[in-house]
């Protein structure tokens, strides 16, 4: 009777314990059902496992299908950083065996249990955590392995089958919850992506409409760059095929180098492919503007760390539109150049009516100053080197184009050889400057004089320079139909004559005596009845007025001829 009573008591206690465990599992299920944050779900699972089984530590590993192992994802009661970062290969250690077989395993003395394949990383981590007794059970949903749930102790202890079963029940709840939370997260992400794609589609459509409006209204690349900067909140620079900046918009950091480089094949924009795909280059994004297989330029985008797929497509679409506008611009420029070349040929051949030429030029470009005197610049050398004139010269340019093997530019007068010196130096062109001349025979003659002058410059070794006839002295007068003696003299000696007139000196007389004495300051001093030092002081003053080199053979002859002409004029 006493034995029966004891059995009944144990049965009642077991029933109460089982009821408590079931009640706890229901609570766990409710708690897991109310949690949608994946991190909180896992923390809840390991905390409940530790509490229900009554162990020192509980932890959970998840399966990594990519690497084919499991990794530590959540712990409760753990103190070791190495243990919290542990990865378990399939079949390695107790947890690896559970993951490989999808069956529960437990031991009261893991370090001494030879059933498991011990590895140094696992044993070291388990040892650092101080774990001895370990129980692990798989997390499986519909036959799919999710991970392993563990309960462990830092001292030896056996695990009853009831505890293993309880841990298995908790693992089953955990596995279902993990899968559900993952599915919910994936669904939310998909909805967000779909929403973003919809928003991106609307954004792209708005960008398309804006670019189309720019093209249809005759807008240029400046408008495209401004629209792109405004749409994406970035800075934009359009780089031309020659490496020059054609347009820009947005707040670009000052004095930064663009990701372009130069080589034998011309300018390259990072590693941007000719396909027109946007490519990251350094901290910028680059896309080639290509038309008919030819790179016409590149868009450089900055001021943003990353671009969404929709935004990248907007930039690539902007590159296509930019290429079309650049192509239209080039075609228009080629037509303009052909029309200019025709007008120039008629003007310099003298076969067309001057008034008709001016009218044709105004029709070509109403802003061009077709009326008034013109300066003729005959440029010999590589014509393609002239990519762009400086702003002052561009404003003065009336007409330009190839003629007779030279590049001939007609500028509004007055335009001096000095103004063209930078162009000559930059392009290595030899430029002869003549004029002023009006449309008709005078312009024809000025061009012919320029052609003779540029030939003379090259024979004198003055290539890569710009010069007017008076700059060459006597040589510049050769072949001129008419010579303005006074203008020539003033060009060479004007500064000295003005000094004498303002100060009442006679530096011109000193120059005449100096050359008459064979360029000897001493003999000139005797002729002038002054001290040689005074002569030298006057010569230094003359040098300051006319520039160095006037005493050298190349210029001395021109100066002496000018002095003789001055004497003839004065009588």
DSSP letters for 346-396? HHHHT-S-HHHHHHHHHHH-TTS--SS-EEEEEEES-GGG-----HHHHHH
Q: Residue 562's closest CA among 477, 480, 498, 447? A: 477
Q: What does pTM read for this prediction?
A: 0.41
pLDDT digits (tens, 9 = 90+) for 507-564: 888 888 888 878 888 887 888 888 888 878 888 888 888 888 778 876 777 777 777 7
Q: Calculate mean pLDDT across residues 265-286.
A: 62
Distance CA 412, CA 8 (A): 122
Q: Residue 135's closest CA among 108, 162, 96, 175? A: 108
What pLDDT shows up at residue 86? 92
Q: Which residue has the tokens 């002295």?
A: 473
Query: From the CB of residue 553, how many other CB atoms can be counted at a distance below 10 Å?
Result: 7
Distance CA 235, CA 253 (A): 9
Q: In this structure, are residues 250 and 235 in contact, taking their beta carbons and an 8 Å threshold?
A: yes
Distance CA 256, CA 523 (A): 63
Q: Residue 374's closest CA among 387, 391, 386, 357? A: 357
Tell me which of 381 and 156 has the higher pLDDT. Answer: 156
∠ at Cα 284 (280, 285), nearest 5°? 50
What pLDDT shows up at residue 366? 59
Distance CA 318, CA 333 (A): 22
Distance CA 151, CA 29 (A): 19
The two tokens of residue 319 are 């590159």
pLDDT band at 4 (very low <50, low <70, confident <90, very high): very low
Q: Residue 376's closest CA among 439, 443, 425, 423? A: 443
Q: What is the DSSP string of 178-207?
A: HHHHHHHHHHHHHHHHHHHHHHHHHHHHHH
For the chain, report the end-to-end CA distance as a whole number of angstroms.
Answer: 163
pLDDT digits (tens, 9 = 90+) for 188-216: 554 454 444 444 555 566 666 677 677 66
pLDDT band at 469 (very low <50, low <70, confident <90, very high): confident
What pLDDT shows up at residue 149? 93
Q: Which residue has the tokens 């010196």?
A: 421
Q: Given the DSSP bridges, would you call strands 144-153 and 133-141 parallel, antiparallel or unpaired?
A: antiparallel
Question: Cα–Cα distances in Å, from 478 out to 216, 433, 449, 482?
Answer: 56, 15, 9, 10
Distance CA 388, CA 245 (A): 12
Distance CA 107, CA 133 (A): 6
Q: In this structure, are residues 457 and 479 in contact, taking their beta carbons and an 8 Å threshold?
A: no
Domains assigned to the chain: 13-185 (3.30.450.40), 218-250+267-332 (3.30.450.40), 350-477 (3.30.70), 485-570 (1.10.10.2840)
Tell me which of 26 and 119 has the higher pLDDT. Answer: 119
Cβ-in-10-Å burial (0-12, 13-18, 19+) of 238 comes to buried
Q: Residue 489's closest CA among 417, 545, 566, 416? A: 566
Question: Cα–Cα distances in Å, from 464 out to 457, 469, 548?
Answer: 9, 16, 20
Q: Calculate mean pLDDT across residues 405-430.
A: 85
Q: In this structure, are residues 247 and 237 in contact, taking their beta carbons and an 8 Å threshold?
A: yes
Tell me which of 44 and 561 has the higher pLDDT. Answer: 44
Distance CA 207, CA 214 (A): 11
Average pLDDT across the chain, whole number: 77
Tell me which of 191 and 307 has the higher pLDDT. Answer: 307
Phi and psi of 174, rounded to 5°? -65, -40
Distance CA 497, CA 492 (A): 10
Q: Residue 73's closest CA among 65, 85, 81, 57? A: 85
pLDDT digits (tens, 9 = 90+) for 205-264: 666 667 767 766 667 778 887 888 787 788 888 777 767 777 888 776 664 556 554 333
């Amino acid at each position: 009777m006493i034995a029966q009573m004891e059995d009944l008591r144990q049965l009642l206690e077991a029933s109460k314990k089982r009821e408590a465990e079931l009640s706890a599992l229901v609570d766990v299920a409710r708690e897991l059902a109310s949690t949608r944050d994946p991190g909180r779900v896992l923390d809840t699972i390991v905390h409940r496992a530790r509490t229900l089984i009554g162990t020192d530590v509980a932890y959970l590993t998840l399966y990594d299908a990519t690497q084919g192992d499991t990794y530590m994802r959540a712990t409760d009661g753990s103190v070791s950083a190495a243990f919290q970062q542990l990865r378990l290969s399939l079949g390695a250690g107790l947890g690896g065996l559970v993951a490989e077989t999808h069956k529960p395993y437990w031991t009261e003395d893991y370090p001494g249990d030879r059933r498991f394949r011990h590895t140094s990383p696992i044993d070291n981590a388990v040892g650092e955590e101080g774990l001895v007794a370990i129980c692990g059970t798989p997390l499986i949903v519909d036959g799919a392995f999710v991970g392993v749930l563990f309960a462990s102790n830092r001292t030896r202890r056996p695990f009853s089958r009831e505890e293993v079963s309880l841990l298995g029940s908790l693992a089953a709840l955990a596995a279902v919850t993990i899968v559900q939370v993952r599915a919910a997260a994936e669904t939310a992400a998909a909805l967000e992506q779909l929403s973003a794609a919809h928003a991106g589609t609307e954004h792209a459509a708005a960008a398309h409409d804006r670019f189309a409006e720019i093209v249809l209204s005759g807008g240029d690349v400046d408008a495209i760059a401004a629209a792109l900067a405004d749409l994406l909140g970035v800075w934009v620079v359009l780089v031309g095929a020659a490496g020059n900046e054609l347009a820009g918009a947005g707040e670009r950091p000052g004095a930064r180098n663009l990701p372009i480089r130069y080589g034998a094949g011309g300018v390259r924009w990072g590693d941007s492919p000719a396909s027109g795909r946007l490519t990251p280059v350094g901290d910028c994004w680059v896309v080639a503007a290509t038309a008919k297989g030819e790179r016409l330029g590149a868009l450089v985008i900055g001021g943003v760390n990353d671009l969404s797929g929709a935004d990248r497509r907007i930039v690539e679409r902007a590159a296509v539109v930019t290429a079309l506008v650049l192509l239209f611009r080039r075609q228009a420029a080629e037509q303009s150049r052909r029309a200019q070349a025709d007008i120039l040929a008629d003007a310099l051949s003298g076969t067309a009516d001057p008034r008709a030429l001016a009218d044709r030029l105004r029709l070509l470009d109403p802003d061009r100053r077709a009326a008034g005197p013109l300066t003729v610049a005959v440029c010999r050398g590589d014509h393609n080197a002239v990519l762009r004139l400086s702003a002052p010269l561009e404003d003065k340019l009336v007409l330009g184009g190839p003629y007779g093997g030279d590049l001939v530019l007609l500028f509004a007068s007055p335009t001096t050889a000095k103004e063209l010196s930078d162009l000559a130096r930059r392009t290595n062109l030899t430029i002869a400057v003549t004029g002023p001349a009006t449309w008709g025979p005078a312009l024809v003659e000025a061009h012919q004089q320029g052609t003779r002058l540029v030939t003379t410059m090259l024979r004198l070794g003055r290539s890569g320079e710009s010069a007017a006839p008076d700059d060459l002295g006597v040589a510049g007068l050769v072949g001129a139909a008419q010579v303005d003696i006074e203008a020539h003299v003033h060009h060479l000696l004007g500064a000295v004559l003005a000094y004498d007139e303002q100060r009442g000196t006679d530096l011109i007389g000193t120059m005449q005596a100096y050359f008459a004495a064979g360029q000897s300051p001493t003999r000139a001093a005797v002729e002038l009845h002054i001290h040689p030092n005074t002569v030298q002081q006057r010569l230094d003053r003359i040098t300051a007025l006319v520039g160095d080199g006037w005493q050298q053979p190349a210029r001395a002859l021109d100066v002496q001829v000018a002095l003789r002409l001055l004497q003839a004029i004065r009588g």
